[in-house]
Amino acid sequence: MSIAIIFNNKDPEIWKEALEQKLKGVTVEIYPTVESPEEIEFILCWKPDKGVLSQFPNTKVIQSVGASVEHITNTQKLNHETVVTRIVDENLSLDMFEFLLSSILFKMKNFDYHSNQKQHQNWFPTNYKTIKETTISILGLGEIGSFVAKELLKIGFNVKGWSNSIKNISGVKSFQGEEELYHSVADANYLINLLPLTLKTENILSKRLMSSLKKGAYIINVGRGEHLVEEDLIELLDSNHLSGALLDVFRKEPLPKTHPFWKHPSITITPHVASLTNVNSAIDIVIQNYNRFKNNQELLNVVSLKKGY
């Protein structure tokens, strides 16, 4: 049995080398150079081209090499017997927390303002907020969202969150369901989106939701580009209802050079780097799942195809 690697925007060679070192005797092939597609039962995936998995009729396991799976579930016609799994890695959660903490403090302590003033050689001191008077609302309290909420709480932020189902995180006020969505963001200084992308969460960062934030609030989107209604964000920034936004994910990546986000003074752009998969730790999860599959054992981090996460 061979393993196939199907990647876009990610180097497959380092994954192939790591797998071959730790799975002696197992053939690892990189698409499109796969000698016998019908013999492939285990596939590593990252942003595969639409419909490409139909070339592998006997696939049993599709392993995403990231925390997300919609790049698979939204682009492939999957057999109901195919198991889709994802990476749940403490390193991903820690990296995400560090990225978000840096983003919050950068804005909270006015580094964006001072950076702009430096260009004009202006010396204009301005007031800043403190951690204890700052409220953060997190959309999505899954593995990563819950970790981020707990860590922000430890530092002293006021933290609350919203998810599809109730979460019991000590010290974090949890909201659930559509009826509580708008209450969950009402008094937040920062809104962080960490939701998975599903039919229900697409376009959730809309004018209605973002208008529910207090004036001067700041948006951080590290979920998916499809969560954000782009024209609504620009409108709320231009009207000064929102003070700014940090966007790490976009509907089309790389972000086209003609996109208005590039030139908007209140938008900070990062190139989908909030939390990068660490091959050294993630490969062990992949290998565990491969061995579990061979031994007919339950796989780790299986995704519900019905829920999409």
Distance separating alpha carbons of residues 56 and 95, to the nearest angstrom:
34
What is the rounded distance in angstroms from the CA atom of residue 242 to the CA atom of residue 173? 23
Q: Which of 142, 229, 133 is nearest to 187 (CA)?
A: 133
How many other C-beta atoms are found inside a 10 Å radius of the C-beta of residue 299?
Answer: 16
What is the rounded CA–CA span in Å between residue 208 and residue 212?
6
Dist. CA 23–CA 298, nearest whole Å:
19
Active site residue 227: no
CA neighbours closer than 13 Å in the CB half-sphere of residue 119:
5
Selecting among 71, 86, 224, 227, the annotated active-site residue is: 224
Q: CB-based contacts of 304: which residues, under 8 Å, 6+ apart?
A: none
CA–CA separation, 71 and 282 (whole Å): 18
Q: Is the dihedral of CA 133, 137, 142, 144 positive or negative?
A: negative
Find out whether 181 and 195 touch, Cβ atoms under 8 Å. no
* DSSP secondary structure, 74-89, as one string: TTS---TT-EEE----
Closest CA to 35 of 3, 61, 58: 3
- Name the residue among 6, 31, 4, 15 with its Cα closest to residue 277: 15
H helices of 33-190, where?
A: 70-73, 90-108, 111-119, 143-155
Any catalytic annotation for residue 272?
Answer: yes
Q: Name the active-site residue from 71, 86, 227, 272.
A: 272
List active site positions: 224, 272
